[in-house]
Amino acid sequence: MVPGQATVRAGRTTLPQAQERHYLARMLAIVLAALAAGFLGSPHCVGMCGGLAAAGGGRPGAATRAPGGARLRVVGAPGGAALWHLGRLTTYAVLG
């Protein structure tokens, strides 16, 4: 066997230890970069959806009170989820 060359044993390719460590280090770097991007991007998600989630985050069919005292139905109303997502997507499209 030539040093640094992959070998095949029982139908499975094995890499030399140095290559395997390098591969695992690259995979770990990719996973950590993805986690960092998720954490750094979370304020965007809170800003875009936080108000909507807080406004409609009650029990399905529950009613809340508006500042004037009027009762408001949240997402649990018939077709409410479809209207919720239609409004959300329309807002995102308008805002860019």
Identify the pLDDT of residue 6.
58
User: Can you say whether the dihedral through the CA atoms of 77, 81, 82, 86 is positive or negative?
Assistant: positive
**Closest alpha carbon to 62 in 77, 52, 47, 43:** 77
Span 14-24, pLDDT tens digits: 667 778 888 88
Q: Rounded to 5 degrees, what are φ and ψ at 19?
A: -65, -40
For the chain, give the percent of residues with pLDDT over 70: 58
**Closest alpha carbon to 52 in 72, 76, 71, 74:** 74
